[in-house]
């Protein structure tokens, strides 16, 4: 019998559309046009920067039109995640359209933990952890995934994405918790009944009352997607349990005014149908517990109402700081935190979704396996036509210009960020398939960690060394003196000495300062220094730039930051000290390495805040009743133009005492002249250094135009090797029936075990695009053996038999432990080239020796 595992993406899609699958571009009767390498080799070799000449972004909210717009040729790409099976079917069947899949979206139930008595005198049952926990048994997650999401989802029980590495690393713990919290409505009813009586409620005529009043639950139900059905499903379940339910249907904006903006104790809502998206593959989810379950997660009132058990709170904090000394300790802490998170259940996780982003068949792009096209860091470097070089492309988005754009505290909307990402040039870029970081503006990095700290290096652009003690040098900058505008050194702040768990020494490219900003200004060290100063200024009440909304993020940073210093400017070398670690050394560098921002553009925002005309964040803008700074549209533009004219007439520098060392003579004047010319030509102040520049913005029409930046220095084909995801495709062979306890095999794929007793053999084929998956690219092939009750009976590692072939041999002892009945063998393949594990499963029966079995 053959079991097929096509990797998570194909497995989910097969469930959704119920058809055979084949690699994109290899469907019957279809062969998308490819770039003629011989014809375009010279043009491609000589091209710098973007592979397209122009990209036009247009607002399009109706996903039902997507396939038709692509087939008509009016659009070539849609970045929004499509979760409609109907639309996915149309894309699959279209000759002119194709799609990419992403796995970074999850749906959950956000519960209001305030109370139990709310401000209006009503009872909130979800203030009791036991009632929150009971919802895990009440909800049938498989029903939610298969029926409410049309198969484009998989059940999720834990605060870990089922598609990211930590889930497979903790597979045994995860499966045990999933079994414990499996759908069990009677257990849910019993737990809720006990909890309600503990709160003093009574059941009268099948309805819950408290102090003579019906217990009413207010459900905030999102209306734009499948969450409307989820909300109705849950409302029906709660009504059956005896609650009165008020269904409050709301859009994203309407709902956010309640679940995020209001005090939970006010009682405007009890439950919200939430969803989250990760735009990159999270290789380490250790801080999920602190983010989702404690006041440290965010500054909003809901998070400040969280009251986790002291044991859980302390453990979540330690995990967020990576306060462990070994990988085994980390895994034990993660396992304990998972159990405590489910006992807390301020969030009840439902499903991990599958989303498709649509594109024309002759379009290729590196879509992130977590965030899709809109979340991909590499889309600006890989988006192209496969049959020609250059050209114009039209991209549809469900929304754009949702909030003001500024690089400090501007729009965080996914689709705004997608556009701005094309204009920027970060120093590292995450791999869209593994989440590991690659250098973009870094020549090499040296990472030093304390001995015993569990850090792993995968890529060869950095080195890792171990040291008994890492001392922070006396001249490192550890703080900022707002009053005198100067750096505070480690020697001043810590005369007794200061140590750190990590030191990162970043050697930037030799030609870094030969790169230009889009307005023609050269990059300089000042572009690295001013953003750091601004970070400290915005956290100090003594500064006119102070912003309370920045405090939570800054305080989290200060808990691990231990200092930094510039060792050299030719080339640029920066050294950063911190107590925070990550399992991957590449992630440590990515978190520590400073990236530049154009200091002359920041200066205008700083001047605007100092003069009370503008504010970087929405929070400060609301409090001071000024405009939220936008560099691209709205009333900020004339204010910025005035500030620029005034700055050109004056001679001051931002934070002049500290910055004068990093700004060369005449640089200030040249920068402001270049910015004035830029504004005159394009009408905005958005200046980046990426492969595309912002050409024009049309808020009323709902469009944005990017054009290729001719001054970009990198070869256009630099990142094309990461255009497609090498997801493993699995085929598992094994027997249908195995005799347990006999002296020999009685089926075709069984093999003799130790001492002549029976063993069962299973073969796994691992391929990619029809070719064997190289053994060197496979990190691990593990298996879990479950008995007929779903309990884990055995686990182990498969053995390689050569490229693309693996073997699992279950010995007589393992088989005998299963008893008689149906069993399941589940294999997980972890690739070094793709972070998402691929799964295959095989069901077989064990029977007593000597019983007749099928041949």
pLDDT for res 361: 92
588 CB contacts (<8 Å, ≥6 apart)?
447, 455, 502, 504, 580, 581, 582
Two structure tokens written together for 170: 């903790």
Number of domains in the chain: 4
Instruction: Give the separation between CA 760 and CA 814, rounded to whole angstroms.
Output: 10
Strands (E), 411-490: 428-430, 437-439, 442-450, 462-467, 470-471, 477-481, 486-489
Residue with tokens 């911190």: 578
Phi first, then psi: what are they for 730, rounded to 5°?
-115, 140
Assess whether 406 and 510 both reside in one domain.
Answer: no
Distance (Å) of CA 809 to CA 398, 440, 760, 786? 51, 45, 6, 15
Terminal CA-CA length for the chain: 12
User: What CATH number is attached to the domain comprising 276?
Assistant: 3.10.105.10
208 CB contacts (<8 Å, ≥6 apart)?
196, 201, 202, 214, 215, 241, 242, 243
Residue 8 has pLDDT above 60, yes or no: no
Report if residue 21 sits inside a domain.
Answer: no
pLDDT for res 850: 55
Assess whether 660 and 802 both reside in one domain.
Answer: no
Mean pLDDT of the 298-314 span: 88
Residue 61 has pLDDT above 70, yes or no: yes
Instruction: Give the separation between CA 711 and CA 708, rounded to whole angstroms.
Output: 9
Torsion of CA 800, 802, 803, 808, to 10 degrees: -30
Strand pairing report for 442-450 and 462-467: parallel
Report if residue 153 sits inside a domain.
Answer: yes
Q: Which residue has the higher pLDDT, 846 or 461?
A: 461
Assess whether 480 and 559 both reside in one domain.
Answer: yes
Residue 94 has pLDDT above 60, yes or no: yes
Residue 333 has pLDDT above 70, yes or no: yes
Assess whether 389 and 303 both reside in one domain.
Answer: no
Residue 6 has pLDDT above 50, yes or no: no
Of the residues 352, 374, 399, which one is the last residue of a structural domain? 352
Q: Give the confidence band of 415 by pLDDT, cuts at 50, 70, 90.
A: confident
* Helical segments of 28-164, H only: 37-46, 66-72, 85-93, 129-138, 141-143
**Domain, as residue range, for 734:** 729-848
Residue 91 has pLDDT above 60, yes or no: yes
Q: 844's torsion region: left (phi>0), alpha (psi -120 to 50) or beta?
A: beta
pLDDT for res 814: 85
Two structure tokens written together for 485: 């505008």
Q: Which residue has the higher pLDDT, 469 or 853?
A: 469
pLDDT for res 758: 67
pLDDT for res 477: 97
Assess whether 491 and 596 both reside in one domain.
Answer: yes
Report if residue 14 sits inside a domain.
Answer: no
pLDDT for res 339: 97
Report if residue 2 sits inside a domain.
Answer: no
Assess whether 615 and 696 both reside in one domain.
Answer: no
Assess whether 252 and 277 both reside in one domain.
Answer: yes
Instruction: Give the separation between CA 763 and CA 182, rounded to whole angstroms.
Output: 30
Range name among 328-332, 563-567, 811-815 with the lowest pLDDT average = 811-815
Report if residue 504 sits inside a domain.
Answer: yes
Assess whether 147 and 289 both reside in one domain.
Answer: yes
Instruction: List, for residues 373-408, the tens digit of each pLDDT value.
Output: 988 999 999 999 998 899 999 999 888 887 889 999
Instruction: Count how many residues are written for the chain.
Output: 855
Two structure tokens written together for 588: 């440590």
Assess whether 40 and 81 both reside in one domain.
Answer: yes
Assess whether 497 and 393 both reside in one domain.
Answer: no
Instruction: Give the separation between CA 745 and CA 501, rounded to whole angstroms.
Output: 56
Of the residues 352, 380, 397, which one is the last residue of a structural domain? 352
* Helical segments of 264-326, H only: 288-293, 301-304, 310-320
Range name among 188-202, 235-249, 601-615, 829-843 with the lowest pLDDT average = 829-843
Two structure tokens written together for 166: 């930590």
Contact (Cβ atoms closer than 8 angstroms) between residue 749 and residue 739: no
Assess whether 122 and 89 both reside in one domain.
Answer: no
Report if residue 376 sits inside a domain.
Answer: yes
Report if residue 24 sits inside a domain.
Answer: no
Of the residues 306, 321, 352, which one is the last residue of a structural domain? 352
Instruction: List, for residues 489-536, the tens digit of each pLDDT value.
Output: 999 999 999 999 999 999 999 999 999 999 999 999 999 999 999 999
Assess whether 600 and 538 both reside in one domain.
Answer: yes
pLDDT for res 549: 79
The strand pairing partners of 246, in sequence order, are 218
């Amino acid at each position: 019998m053959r079991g097929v595992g096509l990797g998570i993406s194909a497995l989910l899609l097969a469930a959704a559309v119920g058809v055979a699958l084949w690699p994109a571009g290899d469907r019957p009767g279809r062969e998308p046009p490819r770039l003629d390498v011989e014809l375009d080799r010279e043009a491609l070799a000589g091209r710098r920067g973007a592979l397209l000449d122009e990209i036009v972004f247009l607002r399009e909210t109706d996903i039902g039109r997507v396939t038709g717009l692509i087939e008509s040729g009016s659009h070539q790409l849609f970045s929004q995640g499509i979760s409609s099976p109907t639309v996915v079917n149309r894309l699959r069947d279209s000759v002119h359209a194709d799609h990419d899949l992403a796995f970074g979206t999850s749906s959950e139930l956000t519960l209001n933990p305030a109370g139990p008595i709310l401000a209006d005198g009503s009872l909130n049952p979800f203030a009791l952890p036991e009632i929150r926990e009971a919802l895990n048994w009440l909800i049938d997650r498989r029903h939610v995934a298969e029926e409410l999401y049309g198969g484009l989802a998989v059940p999720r029980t834990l605060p870990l994405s089922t598609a990211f590495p930590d889930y497979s690393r903790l597979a045994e713990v995860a499966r045990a918790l999933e079994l414990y919290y499996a759908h069990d409505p009677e257990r849910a009813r019993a737990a809720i009944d006990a909890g309600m009586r503990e709160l003093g409620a009574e059941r009268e005529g099948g309805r819950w009352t408290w102090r003579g009043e019906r217990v009413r639950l207010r459900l905030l139900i999102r209306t734009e997607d499948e969450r409307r059905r989820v909300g109705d499903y849950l409302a029906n379940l709660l009504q059956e349990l005896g609650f009165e339910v008020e269904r409050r249907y709301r859009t994203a904006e309407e709902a956010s005014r309640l679940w995020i903006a209001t005090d939970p104790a006010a009682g405007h809502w009890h439950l919200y149908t939430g969803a989250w998206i990760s735009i990159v593959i999270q290789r380490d989810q250790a801080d999920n517990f602190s983010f989702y379950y404690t006041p440290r997660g965010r500054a909003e009132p809901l998070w400040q109402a969280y009251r986790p058990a002291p044991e859980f709170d302390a453990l979540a904090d330690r995990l967020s700081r990576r306060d462990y000394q070994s990988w085994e300790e980390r895994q034990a802490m993660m396992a304990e935190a998972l159990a405590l998170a489910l006992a807390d259940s301020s969030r009840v996780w439902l499903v991990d979704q599958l989303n498709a982003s649509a594109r024309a068949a002759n379009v290729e792009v590196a879509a992130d396996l977590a965030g899709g096209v809109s979340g991909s860091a590499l889309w600006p470097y890989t988006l192209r036509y496969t049959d020609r070089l250059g050209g114009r492309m039209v991209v549809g988005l469900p929304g754009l210009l949702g909030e003001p754009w500024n690089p400090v505290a501007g729009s965080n909307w996914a689709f705004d960020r997608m556009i701005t990402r094309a204009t920027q040039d970060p120093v590292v870029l995450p791999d869209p398939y593994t989440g590991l970081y690659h250098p973009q503006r870094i020549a090499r990095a040296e990472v030093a960690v304390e001995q015993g700290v569990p850090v792993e290096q995968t890529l060869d652009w950095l080195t890792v060394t171990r040291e008994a003690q890492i001392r922070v040098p006396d001249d490192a900058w550890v703080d900022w003196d707002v009053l005198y505008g100067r750096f505070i050194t480690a020697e001043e702040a810590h005369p007794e000495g200061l140590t750190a768990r990590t030191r990162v020494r970043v050697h930037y490219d030799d030609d870094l300062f030969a790169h230009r900003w889009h307005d023609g200004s050269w990059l300089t060290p000042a572009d690295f220094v001013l953003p750091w100063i601004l970070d400290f200024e915005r956290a100090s009440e003594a500064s006119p730039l102070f912003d309370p909304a920045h405090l939570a993020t800054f305080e989290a940073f200060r808990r691990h930051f231990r200092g930094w210093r510039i060792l050299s400017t030719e080339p640029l070398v920066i050294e950063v000290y911190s107590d925070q670690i990550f399992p991957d050394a590449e992630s440590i560098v990515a978190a520590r390495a400073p990236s530049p921002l154009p200091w002359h553009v920041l200066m205008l925002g700083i001047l605007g805040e100092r003069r009370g005309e503008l504010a970087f964040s929405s929070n400060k803008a609301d409090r001071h009743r000024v405009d939220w700074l936008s560099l691209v549209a709205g009333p900020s533009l004339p204010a910025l133009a005035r500030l620029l004219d005034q700055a050109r007439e004056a001679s001051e520098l931002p934070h002049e005492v500290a910055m004068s060392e990093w700004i060369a003579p005449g640089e200030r004047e040249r920068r402001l002249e270049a910015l004035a010319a830029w504004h005159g030509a394009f009408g905005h102040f958005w200046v980046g250094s990426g492969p595309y520049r912002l050409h024009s913005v049309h808020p009323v029409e709902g469009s944005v135009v990017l054009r290729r930046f001719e001054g970009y220095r990198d070869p256009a084909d630099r990142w094309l090797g990461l255009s497609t995801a090498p997801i493993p495709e699995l085929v598992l062979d094994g027997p249908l029936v195995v005799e347990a306890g006999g002296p020999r095999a009685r089926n075709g794929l069984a093999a003799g075990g130790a001492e002549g007793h029976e063993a069962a053999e299973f073969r796994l084929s691992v391929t990619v695009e029809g070719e064997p998956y190289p053994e060197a690219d496979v990190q691990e092939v593990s298996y879990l053996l479950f008995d007929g009750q779903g309990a884990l009976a055995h686990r182990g590692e498969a053995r390689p038999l050569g490229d693309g072939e693996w073997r699992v041999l279950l010995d007589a002892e393992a088989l005998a432990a299963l008893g008689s009945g149906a069993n399941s063998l589940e294999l997980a393949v972890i690739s070094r080239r793709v972070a998402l594990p691929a799964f295959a499963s095989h069901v077989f029966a064990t029977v007593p020796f000597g019983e007749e079995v099928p041949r």
